Amino acid sequence: MTRTDSPPAWDERTQLTTFLDYVRDTACAKCEGLSPEDARRAPLPGSPLMTVAGLINHLSWVEYYWFEVAFLGGEDEGPWTDEDPDREMRIAVDMPLADVLSQYEARTVRYRELVASHDLDTRAEQPRRDGRHPDLRWILLHLIEETSRHNGHLDVIREIVDGTTGI
């Protein structure tokens, strides 16, 4: 992973994309050396869907939603339903972790290109519940926050399932 210590000369776009790449890379690094069984384990009693595989799949689909659906205005083809709003986490336990990680990486490649081709002030096509259209800058900040928060979950799960810390 590339550290995120940024010189003051970096522009806003570089800072945002560097931090997003860093937290993405961190999430993937937290999966290194994990057994297939441990990738599917949900060790937190109050969170039966919170597995390493489920969290990585969730991060992948969250980026899909924010870039493809909210920002570009595309059709929502995510795995979630009204009856099963966390389905992306549930289905991941039946997928090899390598496939989940591969899908996440493929999406991040596409979204890096998407972000590079749009101004940070470009508004999302789809409004939020409050009717406002966030700009690309807000979406990037939200994804940094979302991924960072789940990296904390990945830390806890990883330590519980196999004792690994410090990733």
Give me 145's structure tokens.
């926050």
Q: What are phi and psi of 103, to 5 degrees?
A: -65, -40
- Measured distance CA(19)–CA(24) in Å, rounded: 9
Neighbours of 68 (CB within 10 A): 20
Contact 144, 20 (CB under 8 A): yes
Contact 24, 105 (CB under 8 A): no
Contact 143, 62 (CB under 8 A): yes
Helix boundaries (H) for 34-82 = 36-40, 52-64
pLDDT of residue 1: 62
> Cα–Cα distances in Å, from 89 out to 103, 109, 126?
14, 22, 24
Q: Does some domain include residue 130?
A: yes
Contact 44, 156 (CB under 8 A): yes
Confidence band of 76 (pLDDT split at 50, 70, 90): very high
Q: Is the pLDDT of residue 53 over 80?
A: yes
Neighbours of 132 (CB within 10 A): 11
Domain enclosing residue 141, as ranges: 21-162
pLDDT of residue 166: 84
Average pLDDT over residues 109-120: 98
Q: Does some domain include residue 35?
A: yes
Question: Considering the chain, what is the average pLDDT of its residues?
Answer: 95
Q: Does some domain include residue 9?
A: no
- Measured distance CA(167)–CA(165) in Å, rounded: 6
Which range has the worst mean pLDDT, 1-5, 32-36, 91-95?
1-5
Q: Does some domain include residue 4?
A: no
Q: Is the pLDDT of residue 106 over 70?
A: yes
Confidence band of 118 (pLDDT split at 50, 70, 90): very high
Q: Does some domain include residue 11?
A: no
The count of residues in the chain is 167
Number of domains in the chain: 1
Instruction: Provide the CATH number for the domain around residue 158.
Output: 1.20.120.450
Q: What tens digit of pLDDT does each residue of 119-150 get?
A: 999 999 999 999 999 999 999 999 999 999 99
